[in-house]
């Protein structure tokens, strides 16, 4: 089984991480959460001689999904994810973009994803975890073999995702983190939607929202 690697490019004025994840063995790749600045993503994939295979979305906010349709049309790629509960957000990406002052297009995924689904990138299999809270349809991509999770805006190094946006829910978010993510193992590294990578072990120790002490 091949391990997954990631190229991380912050895009949009929100400096949102848009990972290009790829299979070491085949060089096939997926663009995760392409919110904007497509030329940066295309140039990085070309530089590393990667073979684009699909687009993956963790959730429907503009900084994560705003350029997915454009990239899909340029590269003739399917868009997979997020969960169907985020349809209202993907349907309103253009409105979100106007509010945020960034170019976006509404998005129609080829495939909605749900808990337990499997996603292939080359020879790498990713497990889909349904992790609502930041948005009602947020998902996470996880490779146990590679000890890596792509968590979008569920959890950050030292913080957690916002829940004051439409249909956000704090209790759901904490439940997703506690029951779905922290239980994956202390040795799991995660790529989050904003800021540096971390591990679940580190967040258990130091993240004030989800540390062991915060759960009593």
CATH class of 4-215: alpha beta
pLDDT at 1 over 90: no
pLDDT tens for 43-92 read 999 999 999 999 999 999 999 999 999 999 999 999 999 999 999 999 99
Residues 138-165 have a mean pLDDT of 97
Tell me: the pLDDT tens digits for 106-125? 999 999 999 999 999 999 99
Q: What is the mean pLDDT of residues 195-210?
A: 96
Cα–Cα distance measured from residue 60 to residue 166, given in angstroms and rounded to the nearest whole number:
11
Looking at residue 212, what is its pLDDT?
A: 67
pLDDT at position 96 over 60: yes
Q: Which two structure tokens, joined as six digits, stand for 184?
A: 């994956």
Residues 29-55 have pLDDT tens digits of: 999 999 999 999 999 999 999 999 999
For position 53, what pLDDT does the model report?
A: 98
Average pLDDT over residues 128-154: 98
Write down the pLDDT at residue 151.
98
Q: In this predicted structure, what is the pLDDT of residue 216?
A: 43
Per residue in 159-186, pLDDT tens? Answer: 999 999 999 999 999 999 999 999 999 9
Once rounded to an integer, what is the mean pLDDT over residues 144-156?
Answer: 97
Domain ranges in the chain are 4-215
The burial class, CB within 10 Å (0-12 / 13-18 / 19+), for 197 is middle
Taking each helix axis from N to C end, the angle separating 38-47 and 68-75, rounded to the nearest 10 degrees, works out to: 40
Which neighbouring-strand residues pair with 126? 119
Enter the DSSP assignment of 3. P
What pLDDT does residue 211 have? 78
pLDDT band at 213 (very low <50, low <70, confident <90, very high): low
Rounded CA-CA distance 158/109 in Å is 32
């Amino acid at each position: 089984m091949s391990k997954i690697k990631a190229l991380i490019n912050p895009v949009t004025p929100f400096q949102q991480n848009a990972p290009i994840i790829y299979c070491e063995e085949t060089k096939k790749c997926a663009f995760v959460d392409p919110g904007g600045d497509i030329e940066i993503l295309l140039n990085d994939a070309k530089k590393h001689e990667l073979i684009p295979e699909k687009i993956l979305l963790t959730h429907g906010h503009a900084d994560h999904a705003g350029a997915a349709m454009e990239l899909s049309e340029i590269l003739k790629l399917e868009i997979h994810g997020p969960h169907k509960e985020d349809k209202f957000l993907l349907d309103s990406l253009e409105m979100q973009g106007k509010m945020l002052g960034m170019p976006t297009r509404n998005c129609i995924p080829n495939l909605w994803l749900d808990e337990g689904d499997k996603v292939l990138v080359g020879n790498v299999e990713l497990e889909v975890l349904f992790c609502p809270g930041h948005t009602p349809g947020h998902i996470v991509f996880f490779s146990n073999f590679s000890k890596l999770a792509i968590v979008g805006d569920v959890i950050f190094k030292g913080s957690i995702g916002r829940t004051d946006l439409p249909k956000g829910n704090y209790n759901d978010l904490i439940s997703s983190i506690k029951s779905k993510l922290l239980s994956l193992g202390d040795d799991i590294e995660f790529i989050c939607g904003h800021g540096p990578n971390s591990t679940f072990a580190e967040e258990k120790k130091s993240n004030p929202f989800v540390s062991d002490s915060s759960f009593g």
